[in-house]
Amino acid sequence: MFKQITIIGFGLIGSSIARAVIEHKLADSIICVDQSKDTCNKVLSLGLADDATTDPALGVPGSDLVILCVPVGAMATIADQIADHLEEGAIITDVGSVKESVIAALQPRLPAAVHIVPAHPIAGTEFSGPEHGFAELFINRWCIVTPLQQTELKAIERVTKLWEAFGSKVEIMKAEQHDLVLGITSHLPHLIAFSIVGTATDLEDDIKSEVIKYSASGFRDFTRLASSDPTMWRDIMIHNKDAVLEMLQRFNEDLSALQKAIRKGDQDYLYNYFTDTRDVRQKIIEVGQADYVYPDES
C-alpha cells in the first residue's frame, strides 16, 4: 500500500499503528522518529521499525506517508522540522485528539506539494509508550478523518483505506464538528476524572488512604481515566479550549439542577434522569462500542 511510512512519536498510538502496518503488510519499510533515544532503541529492539532517528528532518525523506503521533502541542514544531525534507506528493496525516488546532499548526507550515489528511482514531488506553501498543487497538473503532477543503480525494481515500485495513470504521467530518463531539464524549469526561481524583488526593493523608483502600468501582473507573498521560491531556485541554469550556458550562448547569433535586428530595427528577442515562449505556453496548460489558449488562 505504501513504500515507506515514517511514524513521528512512537508511543502507544504510533507503535500500535506500526504493529498493524507490519501485521497487514501495508508498507515496505517503517521509519521511527522519536525525541527519546531510549524509545528509538526500544522500537528497534521490538522489531517495530527498520530504522530510527531522533531527528525528524532525517526521518522523512523517501516516505510516501508520514504519520504524526506526537501530543497535539508538538505538531507545529514537528511541521517546522520536516517541512523542507518531505517528498513531493507525500501524504501527511496525524492522530491528534484535537483537529482544528492541528490543521492550524500544519497547513501554513507544510509545502503545497504534500497532501494533508488529518485523522483521529477513537481508540486508546491510559498507557503510554511503545511497549503498550498492540495491532488490534483499532479494530471495530471509529477513525474520524477531517480533510481540508483542498485535500485531494485520492489522498483521503488512501488514508481511509489504511484505517480500514487496521479494522477501523472511517467517518469524514468537519474539524470543528469533531472538536465539539470529542469535547463532550472524551475531553470533558477526562477533565471530570482528573478533578474528582484531584479532590480525593487533596484530602487529609489518613482519609486519603481510606479513599484508596475502599475505592469502589465508581472511583476506580475515574482513576483509570485520570492516570492518562499528563502531557497529552494538558495539550488537549488547551488546544480544544473553546469546545471544552462550552461543554463544561453545560455540565455545570446540569450538575446544578441535580444538586437542587437532591436538596429538595425530588425523587422523580433523579429517577428519570438516571433512567435516561442508563439508556445511553445500553445504546453504546448495542452499537458494539463498550470496552467491557459486565455479565448483567449484555
- Interface with ligand NAP, residue 147, by CB under 6 A: no
For residues 226 to 255, the per-residue mask of contacts with ligand NAP, x marking binding by CB under 6 A and - elsewhere, is: ---x--x---x-------------------
The amino acid occupying position 202 is D
Cβ atoms of 91 and 106 within 8 Å: the answer is no
- Which CB sits closer to ligand NAP, 4 or 128? 128
For 144, the 3-state DSSP assignment is strand
Q: Among 59, 118, 124, 147, which residue interacts with ligand NAP (rule: CB under 6 A)?
A: 124
Determine what percent of the chain falls in helix, strand and coil, rounding each to the nearest 5.
55, 15, 30
CB 30 within 8 A of CB 8: no
117 near ligand NAP (CB under 6 A): no
Question: What is the grid cell recorded at 46?
Answer: 521490538
The separation between the first and the last C-alpha atoms of the chain, rounded to the nearest angstrom, is: 39
The verdict on 70 binding ligand NAP (CB under 6 A) reads: yes
Q: Is 77 in the site for ligand NAP (CB under 6 A)?
A: yes
Q: Which of 129, 219, 273, 290 binds ligand NAP (CB under 6 A)?
A: 129
The residue among 208, 284, 198, 203 whose CA lies nearest residue 233 is: 198
Is 18 a binding residue for ligand NAP by CB under 6 A? The answer is no
Of 9-17, 166-174, 244-252, 276-284, which part binds ligand NAP (CB under 6 A)? 9-17
Say whether residue 128 binds ligand NAP (CB under 6 A): yes
Phi/psi of residue 114, nearest 5 degrees: -110, 160
Separation of alpha carbons 14 and 131, rounded Å: 11
Q: How far is the CB of 89 from ligand NAP (least distance, A)?
A: 24
Residue 167 lies near ligand NAP (rule: CB under 6 A): no
Instruction: Decide: 20 and 2 in contact? Cβ < 8 Å.
Output: no
Q: Which cell numbers hold the place of 131?
A: 511497549
Footprint (CB under 6 A) of ligand NAP, residues 187-226:
none
Q: Is 74 a binder of ligand NAP (CB under 6 A)?
A: yes
Type of residue found at 156: I
> Of 13 and 197, which CB lies nearer to ligand NAP in the complex structure?
13
The residues that touch ligand NAP, with contacts defined as CB under 6 A, are: 8-14, 33-36, 39, 69-72, 74, 77-78, 95-97, 120-121, 124, 128-129, 229, 232, 236
